[in-house]
Amino acid sequence: MAYVVAEPCIKCKYTDCVEVCPVNCFYEGANFLVIHPDECIDCGACEPVCPTKAIFPETELPSDWKEYTKLNADYASKWPNIAEKKAALPEAEEYKDKKGKRAELSPAPGK
């Protein structure tokens, strides 16, 4: 079982999780992060440090966000790996508590 990044991360992209990950299994999109399911060692270090509470064990992912399991796997094979903490997106605080952000997820790779 791996951890999954879900909707609350969209348009925020805080990277506190990246900083604590011992295996560098995070991948960066333009406005979202994902976890590579085959690289995640299920240590759970990332979950408590996420400011938006966007990270869940796959078995505890809310049913409304089940599609994020596949999204994480798909994008982790396309986006670049991120291994160091970066500044959050400029609009992160504005979007941190917003709901229904799925349509705003950009498929573009991060930088």
pLDDT in tens, 39-87: 999 999 999 999 999 999 999 999 999 999 999 999 999 999 999 999 9
Q: Could you give the C-alpha distances from 107 to 19, 22, 32, 80, 92, in angstroms and in order?
A: 23, 26, 9, 12, 18
76 near 36, Cβ under 8 Å? yes
What's the mean pLDDT in 10-36? Answer: 98
Give the model's pLDDT for residue 17. 98
CA distance 94 to 75: 25
pTM value is 0.96
